[in-house]
Amino acid sequence: MTKWALAACLPFCFAGCGLRSEEVLHERESRYHYIRVTQAGAERTLAFRRAGSDCRESVIDTKDPLRLVLPYTERMFAGFLFVPEPRDILMVGLGGGVCPRVMTHYFPEARCDVIELDPAVLDIAKEYFGFEEGPRIHVTIRDGRVGVKVLGRKGARYDLILLDAFRAGYIPYHLTTREFLEECRQLLRPGGVLVSNLWPSLMLYEYERRTMATVFEEQYAFGRWGNTIVVCLQERRGLTPEDLLARADEITLRRNLRFRLVDVAADLVPNQDYEPGGDILTDDFAPANVLNSIPRE
């Protein structure tokens, strides 16, 4: 019986192998990461680990560079539901540069500043992921916290701040604290929003949401499975799910989006999905990586 079951599975195993056969295009040890670029079919992946599941930082479709392959990148567009006409965008964490590249494509009037820690990541984004700096995209190589602080002191202001410097397996704890979020908030113009990419299956999620709640007036979370993208607002707007869907429709039409922003809006996490009472993360108390290893019940 078991033998037959195994035999029946064999073709699928091979099919699986066939799908996963990937070619390593580039592999190197940078100052901060182990960087690996692989290609499987038309999909090109940036990973910061040698192996292991769920280590894909960025994926592009080399035949169709505007396609957002990883579902979370579509959700990162949720910020535009609240800021449909952005002028200045700040992104912390470059990865393959998919978000800045695709966002400035759909929102050509916007400027995008990026802060990235690792110069090797920038080189690889340019070489393998079609990322380009230019008059509308400017990259600064710096620690995210330091970069945000410097921008704040220089009086820079943004409509949209995107935080995506939290890679699977390691959380830079100084980018999770209340003080950091306050520094980000000071960079926002009135009506601006902060968009953060979180992983909801771990304890850290609860702490991060509570911390955000102490700094921002209102939060909207998108994505009920996989990554949750949280949009933090400085002022309460009280938008209903219907309002968000209508806005998604309008933006999709006006901007000619190639993906369904409506689906992102529809994936709104309906109720508060975290425990409001409890510790928050501060510069003084931030055991981020410990919390990031404890599963949520």
Partner 1 sequence: MPPMESHEPPPLRAVWARRLCDLCLTCLVFTCGWVLMMLEMLGARMLAPSFGTDIQVWGSVIGVFLLALSLGYYLGGRLSTAFPKAVALTGLLLPCALWIGVLPWLHRPLNTWLFDFWVVHRDGGEQWGALAAAILLFLIPSVLLGTVSPFAIRLAATDVGSVGERAGLLYAVSTLGSFLGCMVTSFWLIVWLGVDRILQLHAVLLAAAAVAFLAAWHALKRGLQP
Window contacting partner 1 (CB under 8 A); options: 106-114, 225-233, 240-248, 283-291: 283-291
**Of 75, 101, 145, 247, the one binding partner 1 by CB under 8 A:** 145
Total residues interacting with partner 1, rule: CB under 8 A: 22
Of 239, 204, 206, 203, whose CA–CA distance to 220 is shortest?
A: 239
**Of 146, 182, 191, 260, the one binding partner 1 by CB under 8 A:** 146
For position 29 contacting partner 1 by CB under 8 A, the verdict is no
Q: What is the 3-state secondary structure (H, E, C) of the chain?
A: CHHHHHHHHHHHHHHHHHHHCCEEEEEEECCCCEEEEEEECCEEEEECCCCCCCCEEEEEECCCCCCCCCHHHHHHHHHHHCCCCCCEEEEECCCCCHHHHHHHHHCCCCEEEEEECCHHHHHHHHHHCCCCCCCCEEEEECCHHHHHHHHHHCCCCEEEEEECCCECCECCHHHCCHHHHHHHHHHEEEEEEEEEEECCCEHHHHHHHHHHHHHCCEEEEECCCCCEEEEEECCCCCCCHHHHHHHHHHHHHHHCCCCCHHHHHHCECCCCCCCCCCCCCCCCCCCHHHHCCCECC
The distance of closest approach from Cβ of residue 219 to partner 1 in the complex, given in angstroms and rounded to an integer, is 23
Q: Tell me the C-alpha distance between 203 and 184, whole Å.
A: 23
For position 149 contacting partner 1 by CB under 8 A, the verdict is yes
Q: Hunting for tokens 């369904």 — which residue is that?
A: 260
Window contacting partner 1 (CB under 8 A); options: 20-28, 96-104, 137-145, 237-245: 137-145
For position 254 contacting partner 1 by CB under 8 A, the verdict is no
**Of 48, 80, 106, 180, the one binding partner 1 by CB under 8 A:** 180
Q: Which is nearer to partner 1, 111 or 174 (CB)?
A: 174
For position 45 contacting partner 1 by CB under 8 A, the verdict is no
For position 86 contacting partner 1 by CB under 8 A, the verdict is no
For position 143 contacting partner 1 by CB under 8 A, the verdict is yes
Sheet (strand 34-40) strand order: 23-29, 34-40, 43-47, 56-61
For position 174 contacting partner 1 by CB under 8 A, the verdict is yes
What are the beta bridge partners of residue 219? 232
164 is catalytic: yes
For position 169 contacting partner 1 by CB under 8 A, the verdict is no
For position 287 contacting partner 1 by CB under 8 A, the verdict is yes
For position 260 contacting partner 1 by CB under 8 A, the verdict is no
For position 61 contacting partner 1 by CB under 8 A, the verdict is no
What are the beta bridge partners of residue 60? 44
Q: Which is nearer to partner 1, 15 or 290 (CB)?
A: 290
**Of 3, 50, 154, 236, the one binding partner 1 by CB under 8 A:** 154
Q: Give how far the C-alpha of residue 69 lies from the chain's centroid of Cα atoms, to the nearest Å.
A: 13
**Of 28, 138, 153, 237, the one binding partner 1 by CB under 8 A:** 153
Structural tokens at position 82: 């609240």
From the list 113, 159, 164, 267, the catalytic residue is: 164
Window contacting partner 1 (CB under 8 A); options: 15-23, 140-148, 207-215, 230-238: 140-148
For position 179 contacting partner 1 by CB under 8 A, the verdict is yes
Residues within the interface to partner 1 (CB under 8 A): 31, 117, 142-143, 145-146, 149-150, 153-154, 172-174, 177, 179-180, 282-285, 287, 290
* Residues known to be catalytic: 164
